Structure formats: C-alpha cells, structure tokens
Amino acid sequence: MASLRDIVTSASINLLSAFGFLMAFAILRIQPFNDRVYFPRWYKKGTRSSPTRSGAYASKFVNLDCRTYLNFLNWMPAALRMPEPELIDHAGLDSVAYIRIYLLGLKIFVPLAVLSFMVLVPVNWIGDTLERAKDLNFSNIDKLSISNVPDGSKGFWAHIVMSYVFSFWTFYVLYSEYKVLATMRADYLASETRRPDQFTVLVRNIPPDPDESVSEHIVYNANKLASLVSKKRDFQNWYIYYQNKFERTSKRPLTKTGFMGLWGTKVDAIDHYTSQIQKLNEEEAVERERVKKDPDAIVPAAFVSFKSRWAAAVCAQTQLCRNPTLWLTEWAPEPRDVYWDNFAIPYFELTIRRLIIAVALFFLIFFFMIPIAFVQSLANIEGIQKVFPFLKPLIRIESVKSVIQGFLPGIVLKIFLAVLPQILMTMSKIEGYPSISALDRKSAAKYHMFILVNIFLGSIITGSALQQLKTFIDLPPTEIPKTIGVYIPMKANFFITYIMVDGWAGVAAEILRLVPLVLFHLKNTFLVKTEQDRYEAMEPGSIDFPVGEPRIQLYILLGLVYAPITPFLLPFIIIFLAFAYVVFRNQVINVYDPKYESAAAFWPDVHKRVVIGLFISQLLLLGLLSTKKIGRNHFALLPLPVLTIWFFMYCKGRFESGFIRFPLQEAMVKDTLERATEPQFNLKAYLKDAYMHPVFKSSDVEKSDFTFEEEKSPLVATTRVATKLSPDVHSSSPVQSDA
C-alpha cells in the first residue's frame, strides 16, 4: 500500500513534469516559426497572419525579445479573459458546453472538499481502528479515511448526514447547470444565422415504389468513389513531396513500387506518381458514371429540404407513416457533420449490427480486465516482486520503492488505455450512425461504460479477470455494493496516483501539442511550397469528446464516491479540474477548429452520467456502512438512491426535450423575421449543393442529394399526385409536405 511518502514522490514527479511541459509551451508559443501551431484557430478565421519582425534574420524564427520570456504564464489570464458570449461566437456552443463540464466539477467538489475536511476528516482521524489492528500496514492517508472509524461508532452518523448534504448540493448544481445549458441552447438556436440543416430533414428507410423512382430524392452509395478520391489525394501529396525534392536538389528522386516505397522495383518517383494519378483519374471517372447510373448504388435515404424552418420542424418531429419503420425522419446533421460512409447500410441491417456490437463490447470489457488486473498487481511492492522477481534488490532501495508505487501503476494503466478509443470509435462506425457527432456521443457512451467497469470496479476488485467476474457472479445483487464498499477505502492511493499521471501531467502535455508541432515542421520542411500549403499543414485538431468527456466523468465519479469515505482524494481532483478548465479554454480560443456544431446536444448524456456516479456512490456507501456494525442505522441512506432516481426523471422531463426537438414557435419567429428582412433571398440556390456528397461537388452532377418542394405548389408534385391516388393506396407514398 502506498504511503504518504509515495504519494509525495508521485506528486513531485507529476508536478515537475507538468511544470516542464508548461515551461516548454511558454517558450515555444512565442517563437515566430511556431505561431501556426499554437494559434491555428485565428489563422483559420483569417484574423492572424505570420508574424513579421525587423532586424536580424534570426528574429524571423526566434523571439529575441527577452521581456516576453518573463511573462511565461500570461496565457492563463488571457484564456480566462474572453467572456462566455464572445467565446460562443468564436468557437461555438459545443466547445463552451464542453468546458463547462470542468466548471460543473469544480462547483460540485470545492464545497464538498471544504465540508469534508471540516466535518469528516476530524471524525476519521480521531478513530484508532488502524492503530489497534495487528499486522496491518497503513499510512497516515488511511487514518483520514472511514476505515479508521471503529465499528459501531456513532461517528458514522456524520458520514450519513454529510452524504445527504453532498447529494442535495450535487442535485442543486446539476439542476442549475442543466437549466443554464438549456437556456444557452435555446438562445443559440434563436440567434444563429441561417444554416442548411435548419431547413433539411433526413429521411431513411424509404420503401420501394412502383410509381415513383427513389432517384427523385437520391442519396448515392459513393463509398468506393470516395476511397478512390482519398487514394488519389495521397498520391498527389507524394507527387508534391518528390517534386519539391527535385526542385531543391535538381536530381530526379527514386522510389520503390512496394508499400510506402519500402520495397519493390526502383523507379523514377515523379513519373511513377504521375502515372498512378492518371490511372486513378480514369478509374474515378468510370466509377462516377457507374454510381450515377447503377440502380444498386441508390440508397433508400434522402435529405429533404423545405422552404421554411417550421415545415422542416414538423416533418422531423412527426411520425409520417402508419408503419413506424418506414419513412423515418430526423433532423439532418449539418453538412460537415454528415458521415457519408454509413448511408449505404440498410435499415434492417443496422439493428443486427448494433446487437453484434453490444455483444462484442461486453467481451471487450471483460477481456480488458486482464491488463487491468496486471496493473493492479503493480500497485503494491509484493505484486511487483512476484511479477518481476529479479527486481527485488532494486526495489529494496527506499527512493526507488517510492517512485514505483507512486508513479508506475498510473502510467502503465494510461499506456494500456491509449489504443482503446480507436477501437470503440470503429465499433460505433460499424453500428451505422449517420453523423460524426452521433459517432462521438456513442463512442463516449462505450468508453464511459468501459471506464466504469474496468477502471473503477476492475481496479477495486483485484485479481485475475476470471476472479473478478466470479466475484460478481457468485454474489447476490444485494451483496455487491457491500463487497465493493469494503475494497474502496483501500484503493484511494491508487486512484490518487492515476489522477496525477492522467490528469496533471496529461493536461499539461495537451497544451504543449508536441505531435502537431513536429508534424507541422516536417511538412513545412518537405512539403510546403506555397502559402496555401502552409495553411493546410496546420493541424488545429478539435476537442476529443469521445475520450475527454468519459475521463472527466471518471474523476467526478471518484470524487462523489470518495468524498464521504476518503476526502483526501478531493484536492487532487480539484487541481485537475481547475488546471484543465484553463488549459482547454486556451485551446478552444487559440487552437481547436470544431468538426461540427450540435448546439450542446450531448449535455443530457453529461447530466445522466453524473447522476449515475452519484447513484453508485450512494449504493457503495450504503454497502460499506452495512459492514460497520451500526445496527440498522445504515438504512437511513436508503431514501437517497430513490431521491436520485426521482431527480433524474424530473430533470429529464423538464429539460431533455429542449435538446431533442426544435420549438415550432421559435421556427416560425425566425422564418417570419427572415422573410421580412430578406424577402428576395434565394433559398433554393442556397440549399442546392449543401447535402451533395463531397466527391460529387467537383463534378457536374445533374441530380442533387435532396428534394426541394415546389416553389408555387403547396404539395410536392409526384407521379401519383398527377394520376390521382386510388383509395387503396396506403401512407407509404413519398412525403407530401405543406409549405
């Protein structure tokens, strides 16, 4: 078990690492040749250009003004200075809502930490259970936890009362934030400028019709064509690289015809890629014609655009057909949010895919317990000596022992988790969601489930994967909280080290942007030829929501669980949340270029996961107190989980609809105002190519990816409208929407 010295050692290492990253960032960000790496957001907006300096030639690359090095932390107040309304205009509501998750955590845990250290820490400290126990290794940190309170003590009433206080405070903060975000979303949608998705509905599972061709509202399966375009772009990049190399050296470059030029016959690189690009041009032209003419390339889905937001809102939020599996409508994602690869998946197949992925996710979570159990074996010296017996002489050195116990478990666990997000994103893509934002939200949900089971529960219940599974299978459901509750105080030290490694040093590494920095200079050296090339070499990135949001939820869960049990963990979480809030504010202002804008549609998921964490913390405290021989007093906690469920249902009914539906009143107001201020605006021309597949936008496609209702007729003219419907025709006909 890690001692106070081990924790101090780990804290020192991580603080020094974070300080080193910050110092490197402070120096690198003010160098002229790094300006595009640390301020790409302003370049993308066109409000910043490469810095020019007079004087020595070196000043064009290196900042020679010594005064600027003295204020190396001035980026922090600058990151906090921008008002929230201005930040929304600058970066969008999604970015602001994401940052507010850190603020939500601070609002919850700062008061909780103060109350815990004022009330619970003295109660825990004056206990003598650990000191009276024989042959038990413990540290001063353990004396601050509930484990030090004697069985049967009336001091446990302090923990029961404070659990109610903590829960009600969390209710208040969650409700207030949900209300604020709901208002911000409504104001954002009301004030937002015209966008194609405001007038467009995605219609899926369109049934075949003998009287109407689906090409009337066509979406093509252009995945193969998109693959050819992507492959050609890669070849063009290689061609530019070798062309630049030839211009610098005046020597014809050579390459090998095998994979990435690593093996095969040596050929002239420029001629080779010229011929490959020409070949792909021909294949692309053939595939483009095939897609336009092949009936099998037509997908039973459509982007249907309307003349008004009101009509689009009615269609998107209404069941159109007696058969609820046909003519499925939903709001269209904004054009840059569309994930085109998934439109070719038949609707029935989507259900099968999601069932398969659910089963696969279960096995992934289960088998990942194996590396988690290995990491837990490193959390104590005995486990390390058993796994690596040859390290015994080294481990006996006190300073080495402190480093291993205070630093190694957290860093090894972080390494194991590095590949997981890509696996989960691939699984979400297989499930067939039609937008990037939906993929992000579903991947975040999977990652949250994984963290909950493997990182939290898996780290508490030590042992092999089979032992962990057996622990849960053999126990009655009512005994699981009790069993886990007993283990929780023993794992506080491990989670403290994990927070420092993943949180403190990890966030500091985020602001340094080491990988984008190296990639930019490599591209700038070998590929950049024009200003446009330099512009494209920037990698601003965006908020990694599928990873970042579940990670915050883990820290919130740990804080809620340990607040009444081991309050010593709370300051480490608060430091992470405060530091991350400042860092990500800087990144949103200066760096990130959002991939899409969903107007904080993910906030109901954020709220739900915090409530889940609160519910788990209440059950585990109830289970832990049931082992402390306090009679039936622990039953005083039973109303809390019930109140938590009621609170969640109330907030769901009160706020969630505002994140799913668009009020018809707001739609009509915006339509009326727009018609009054811009009566001559050509909406049809504005929407014409908005939802055309990207691979078609450079070609002369005669048919667009959406239908647009007729300008003069209140109904869409169709073949069956012209021939007059017979009474036995059912509602599976093409959509006829009133303007």
The Cα-based distances of 543 to 30, 167, 281, 553, 694 in angstroms read 23, 30, 35, 16, 24
How many C-beta neighbours within 10 Å does residue 732 have? Answer: 15
Tell me, rounded to whole angstroms, the distance of Cα 137 from its chain centroid: 40
pLDDT for the residue 431 = 94
Contact 356, 423 (CB under 8 A): no
Rounded Cα–Cα distance for residues 92 and 81 (Å)? 17
Q: What is residue 405's predicted lDDT score, i.e. its pLDDT? A: 61
With tokens 């269609």, the residue in question is: 315
**What is the structure's pLDDT at 495?**
86
Low-confidence ranges of the chain (pLDDT < 50): 1, 214-216, 463-466, 699-739
- Measured over the CA atoms of residue 447, residue 450, residue 451 and residue 452, the dihedral's sign is positive
User: Cα–Cα distance between 556 and 48 in angstroms, integer?
Assistant: 38
Backbone phi, then psi, for 299, in 5-degree steps?
-100, 135
Write the secondary structure of 562-615 as one string of H (helix), E (strand) and C (coil): HCCCCHHHHHHHHHHHHHHHHHHHHHHHHCCCCCCCCCCCCHHHHHHHHHHHHH
Q: Six-digit token pair at 441?
A: 């939200």
- Per residue in 627-684, pLDDT (tens digit) is 888 878 878 999 999 999 999 999 999 999 999 888 888 889 999 998 898 888 888 8
Residues in the chain: 739
Residue 281: predicted pLDDT: 87
**CA-CA distance, 343 to 301, in Å (whole number)?**
7
pLDDT of residue 577: 95
Element (H or E) spanning 426, and its range?
A: helix 420-431
- What's the gap between Cα 35 and its chain centre? 27
Asked if 655 contacts 605 with a C-beta cutoff of 8 angstroms, the reply is no
In whole angstroms, give the CA distance from residue 154 to residue 158. Answer: 8
- Cα gap 552→583, rounded to integer Å: 14
pLDDT of residue 641: 95
pLDDT tens per residue, range 691-720? 887 777 654 433 444 444 434 434 444 444
Contact 219, 343 (CB under 8 A): yes
**Model-level pTM?**
0.82
Q: What is the pLDDT of residue 65?
A: 67
| Predicted local confidence at residue 355, as pLDDT | 94
Instruction: Please classify residue 35 by burial: count the beta carbons closer than 10 Å to its beta carbon, then call 0-12 exposed, 13-18 middle and 19+ buried.
Output: middle
- Tell me how far apart the alpha carbons of residues 275 and 706 are, in angstroms, rounded to a whole number: 36
CA 263 – CA 13 distance, rounded (Å): 44
Backbone phi and psi for residue 298, each to the nearest 5 degrees, phi listed first: -85, 130
Question: Which amino acid, one-letter code, is at 251?
Answer: K
